[in-house]
Every structure is written in structure tokens, then in C-alpha cells.
Amino acid sequence: MSTLRSDLVAASRAHFAEPLCRQYNIEMTGAREWQRQFSRLHNAAFRRENVNLAAVYSASERDRAEALDALVTGTPLEHHLLIQKDGRTVGCFWGAQERLAHYSMHYTVIHPAHQGRGIYSALLRRLIGLIGSLGFRHIQSRHHADNNRVLIAKLKAGFHITGFEVAPKYGLVVQLCYFFNQTMRDLHCYRIDATAYATALRARTVIREVAALSDDRPHRNQVDPDQVDHGQIDHDNVDQDKTDNQR
């Protein structure tokens, strides 16, 4: 893991060396400084109602949740980035490793005075190149369903819509995913339009027809319900996206 962490730092420095849009520098920082800058920009950038989850869960409920999380989560590979111009922070980004080689774009915020200048799209291109070079399978994110500016930018960059969710804190959100593997992209599109991708996927033996059964014995490609370990479900094709707050 230490080698992977070192690779992340080295690759990040290389990908973020050149300024975004020729004028915005990217600085890697720690979680505390990132949170301080994010809080300052959040109030200026977002005009939506703010749901205070601290008022939803009691202190004991929060302590129990943190204790459970500590059992299953180590220290993920992550980015706390500050986007700066003339020494002043005008944007923040936080992204982190999730399970099954997924990378989640959690939060992005850009000051209104610097929006519409291509910063988000430029950052997105850098991140795709960086995360792909580190061996991640997917980049995932969640956004307000009416955040057209970000949704369009991500769809143009090659992200796919993978689902919708009514989140208690945010309302209706759209789940997006960028697949680095071409076959996974084709398989996702196959679930939307089977006729356009079935032949190619069958040729790659990604999908196979299940032969008709001649008797009552389970076919080798048929799942026997009595043999299913319901505690071991493979969620590799399910994207549990967190929320990118550039909404």
C-alpha cells in the first residue's frame, strides 16, 4: 500500500504540474486545510438549502457509525486539491479510493466568479488521465439532477448515467460512472440497447446464452438457489457513488 500511495503522489504531481486553463494552479493539501477552504467557498457557491445531518443523528448514533466504519475502512488513497489563482484559493476538490478499484469524486466547488471558464472540464481531463494511470477501474460521482453544467461536462468527457437516487440530504441525484475498460463500457450500453452491442460482446464471450435444460438437473450455467451464499454478493458492476458537490 505504501508503494501505491507513493505512486499516487508522484503521478498526481506530474498530472497537476501545468496550470488549468493556463492560469489556475493545483496544490495538494491536507484534509484540515481543504475543509477550511471548502467551507469558505461552499457558502459563496451554493444557494441550495443545507441539510444538517448533525441534527439528524444523535451523538451516540454518530459514534457507533464511526466505530463500524473503522472496522472496514483503512486509509484510502485520496486527493485534497486546492485550485488557486494569484495565491488565492478559488476552488476545491476531494476524491478518494473506494472498494473494488473504484475512485469517487466526492466534492468539487468553484467560486462563482471563476465558473464558466473551463476549470471543471480541465480538471476532469487531468483526473481521468491520472486515475486511469493508477489502475482504477471506474470513476464515479453523484450530482443534483438539475446541475446541467456539470452533467453535460461529464457526459462529454465519457461518463455514463448509471442510476438515479432520491437522497434524503440532497434530493434527486444522478449517478455517473466513467469506465476505463472498453468492454465494461460496452456492457453498460448493452443494458440500455442490447441489439447494438450483443454481437460484439458474444464474440468476446462476455455474454453467453444459457442452453435449454433437458431434465431437472441444474445446468452448469444455472444458479442453484440452495448453493448461493447470500453474504457474498459480487457488487463489481454496481456503482455506489458519493456526491460531487459541484452541483
Q: Is 123 exposed, middle or buried (0-12, 13-18, 19+ CB in 10 A)?
A: buried
Right CATH for 2-141 from 2.60.260.20, 3.40.630.30, 1.10.760.10, 2.40.10.340: 3.40.630.30
User: Which sign, positive or negative, has the C-alpha torsion 141, 113, 92, 53?
Assistant: negative
pLDDT of residue 227: 41
> Helix, strand, or coil here: 85?
strand
pLDDT of residue 56: 63
pLDDT of residue 239: 32
pLDDT of residue 226: 43
Q: Is 25 exposed, middle or buried (0-12, 13-18, 19+ CB in 10 A)?
A: middle
Tally of residues, the chain: 247
Overall pTM surpassing 0.85 (yes/no): no
pLDDT of residue 12: 95
Smallest CA-to-CA distance from 145 within 121, 123, 172, 167 is with 172
pLDDT of residue 51: 60
pLDDT of residue 22: 92
pLDDT of residue 71: 62
What are the domain boundaries of the chain?
2-141
pLDDT in tens, the chain (247 residues): 568 889 999 999 999 999 999 999 999 999 999 999 998 888 778 766 666 666 666 888 778 777 766 665 677 889 999 999 999 999 999 999 887 788 999 999 999 999 999 999 999 999 999 999 988 999 999 999 999 999 999 999 999 999 999 998 889 999 999 999 888 888 898 888 888 888 888 888 888 766 554 555 554 444 444 443 333 333 333 333 334 445 4
User: Which sign, positive or negative, has the C-alpha torsion 69, 75, 77, 82?
Assistant: positive
> Helix, strand, or coil here: 187?
helix
pLDDT of residue 94: 96
Q: What is the C-alpha to C-alpha distance for residues 233 and 238, in angstroms, rounded to an integer?
A: 11
Smallest CA-to-CA distance from 25 within 119, 127, 108 is with 119
- Residue 157 sits at the vertex; the CA angle it makes with 155 and 158, to the nearest 5 degrees, is 70
Contact predicate 162/239, CB 8 Å: yes
pLDDT of residue 44: 78
pLDDT of residue 201: 85
pLDDT of residue 123: 96
